Amino acid sequence: QVQLVESGGGMVQAGGSLRLSCVVSGDTFKSYRMGWFRQAPGKEREFVAAISWSGAGTSYADSVKGRFTVSRDNAKNTVYLQMNSLKPEDTAVYYCAADRVRFGIRVEDFGSWGQGTQVTVSP
């Protein structure tokens, strides 16, 4: 069973930046495809970004493309989400997710989840 712990959330003004981290333990990190999702109050959890086990392949939601960057350090068992040019509509709880079997960017394509970290962007 893999465990995921996010950190790096907080409050920032519009136009600012934050970097989220997710440390993975309990299994071989480099075997896992990693993803970031977010959930705003009253809304469904939505895909933000994903990265392949090697880091060579990435994908992004259209809403964050060009502003967010996902990366991983397999030596540190950590995946990152660099968020620049933040907007109030980016306010949400951000979740780290992992999977070693399935493909895709739906919530159901990831079998392991962290507890989430709050990101709040003020106007």
Instruction: Give the residues of the chain that fall short of pLDDT 50.
Output: none
- Which of 25, 26, 32 lies closest to 6, judged by CA? 25
Q: What pLDDT, on a 0 to 100 scale, did the predictor assign at position 103?
A: 82
Asked if residue 86 lies in contact with residue 17, where contact means CB atoms within 8 angstroms, the answer is yes
Distance CA 15, CA 34 (A): 26
60 pairs with which residues across the strands? 49
Q: What is the pLDDT of residue 66?
A: 98
Residues written for the chain: 123
The CA distance from 120 to 104, in Å, is 27
Helix (H, G, I), strand (E, B) or coil at 90: helix
pLDDT at 1: 81
